[in-house]
Amino acid sequence: DGGITQSPKYLFRKEGQNVTLSCEQNLNHDAMYWYRQDPGQGLRLIYYSQIVNDFQKGDIAEGYSVSREKKESFPLTVTSAQKNPTAFYLCASNDRQTGTEAFFGQGTRLTVV
């Protein structure tokens, strides 16, 4: 089945540690996105990539980094510079050529311990 796979489902981070969240898609989509979801707030865009080897900052990029070395993969690193990383992280993709319907993965819940 085609779709977006995020791993792990749950992730625990110690203070001062960098962690990487995985996002893989087999939909052959050009564009991929990372969102953060906090209770009582809407989803907020962290980073997005429209093509391999290119990515842009979203509204809340500070303390995060990404790479886009392959079309299928868009990993997100939460660095120690992110002061409040506990949240639910969602990866999405769309095919910009056919109407931009977005599809989402099942999310990764990150908790600082």
Partner 1 sequence: KQEVTQIPAALSVPEGENLVLNCSFTDSAIYNLQWFRQDPGKGLTSLLLIQSSQREQTSGRLNASLDKSSGRSTLYIAASQPGDSATYLCALYSGGGADGLTFGKGTHLIIQP
| Interacting span for partner 1 (CB under 8 A) from 12-20, 62-70, 77-85, 95-103 | 95-103
Q: Are 105 and 37 in contact (CB under 8 A)?
A: no
Q: How far apart are CA 77 and CA 72, in angstroms?
A: 17
Q: Are 32 and 25 in contact (CB under 8 A)?
A: yes
Binding status of residue 26 toward partner 1 by CB under 8 A: no
Binding status of residue 103 toward partner 1 by CB under 8 A: yes
Binding status of residue 104 toward partner 1 by CB under 8 A: yes
| Interacting span for partner 1 (CB under 8 A) from 12-20, 69-77, 78-86, 99-107 | 99-107
